[in-house]
């Protein structure tokens, strides 16, 4: 049983028991915390029997920390409406934390924080703490967690976050966690696309993709992305571990952040177009590896499109 400094059992609220959220909530409970959760579909609670179900998000109003793990900030804002109304009627305890663990816009999460501050009479603070590691990391409790928070809020929340991840780092103030996740997605999205291109080129040239990836993994091209996504690319296994359409959304955050910072992001600009094409082809609900099928559907390169002089 996890006990806080006052001698009481540690508690947390959780909103969103999807592919990532369910195992994350289960790991918090397995660490001895008392977890109360809301999810639109009640069947999700069959996967996390140690978690208590609440009928509305507003019922989580007195939890010291409330984690949101929904697809994007608009979903979070919609789910939090009754919670914020409850706080407007009666402010929560000072120090209440709203922890956004989804991939969201670095700019918009700051706007949401202002809404939460106003609704809670300044008693609740928003922390952005997006994750990387996929469903495997969520199940194993080995996620990388990128946190945007004040040093004091980070220190206070670290024991909770440590139940879900092995790499938990404060990246800076609010919004920094989301920017770090956007950079993560830039690397994952472009690397996966490059591997998908290599797989298509190799196979169409008569080469065995598995053999190619095996030799690449032993050289400078080796990477964690190759280790995890490579087998799915090689076997054309597009069973979703997370919908590919979210990569387009995340790359949009990269482009928006780059505009604000005055930074060039040519790789992100190219990748966002490719993942937009993936969505246009109706492949967005498949695994990220389905970008290989997107590339295959584009057809052969023509002489005029090679960019040679």
Query: Any idea which residues carry the catalytic annotation?
Result: 181
Task: Work out the end-to-end distance of the chain between its first and last CA atoms, rounded to an integer number of angstroms.
Answer: 68
Between the alpha carbon of residue 100 and those of residues 16, 25, 96, 113, 295, the distances in Å are 11, 14, 13, 10, 33
Which residues, in sequence order, are CB contacts of 304 under 8 Å at separation 6+? none
Instruction: Count the neighbouring beta carbons within 10 Å of the beta carbon of residue 8.
Output: 11
Tokens of 164: 């879900």
For residue 180, give the nearest of 168, 191, 192 by alpha carbon.
168
For residue 253, give the nearest of 109, 114, 143, 137 by alpha carbon.
109
H/E stretch holding 145 reads: strand 143-148
Between the alpha carbon of residue 56 and those of residues 36, 38, 40, 61, 67, the distances in Å are 11, 6, 9, 10, 14
């Amino acid at each position: 049983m996890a006990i806080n400094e006052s001698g009481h059992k540690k508690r947390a609220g959780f909103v969103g028991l999807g592919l990532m959220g369910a195992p994350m909530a289960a790991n918090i409970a397995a660490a001895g915390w008392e977890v109360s959760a809301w999810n639109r579909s009640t069947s999700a609670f069959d996967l996390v029997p140690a978690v208590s179900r609440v009928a509305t998000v507003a019922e989580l109003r007195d939890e010291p920390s409330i984690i949101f793990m929904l697809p994007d900030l608009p979903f979070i804002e919609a789910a939090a409406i009754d919670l914020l109304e409850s706080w407007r009627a009666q402010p929560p305890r000072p120090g209440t934390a709203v922890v956004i663990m989804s991939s969201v816009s670095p700019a918009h999460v700051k706007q949401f924080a202002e809404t939460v501050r106003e609704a809670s009479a300044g008693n609740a603070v928003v922390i952005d703490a997006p994750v990387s590691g996929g469903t495997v990391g969520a199940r194993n409790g080995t996620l990388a967690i990128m946190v945007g928070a004040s040093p004091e809020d980070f220190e206070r929340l670290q024991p909770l976050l440590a139940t879900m991840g092995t790499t938990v780092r404060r990246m800076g103030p609010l919004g920094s966690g989301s920017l770090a996740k956007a950079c993560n997605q830039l690397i994952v999205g472009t690397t996966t696309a490059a591997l998908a291109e290599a797989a298509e080129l190799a196979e169409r040239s008569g080469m065995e993709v598995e053999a190619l990836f095996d030799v690449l993994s032993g050289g400078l091209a080796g990477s964690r992305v190759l280790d995890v996504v490579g087998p799915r690319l090689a076997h054309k296994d597009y069973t979703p571990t997370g919908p590919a359409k979210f990569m387009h959304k995340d790359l949009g955050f990269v482009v928006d952040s780059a505009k604000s910072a005055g930074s060039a992001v040519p790789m992100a600009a190219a990748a966002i177009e490719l993942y937009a094409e993936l969505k246009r082809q109706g492949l967005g609900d498949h695994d990220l590896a389905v970008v290989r099928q997107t590339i295959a559907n584009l057809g052969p390169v023509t002489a005029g499109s090679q960019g040679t002089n």
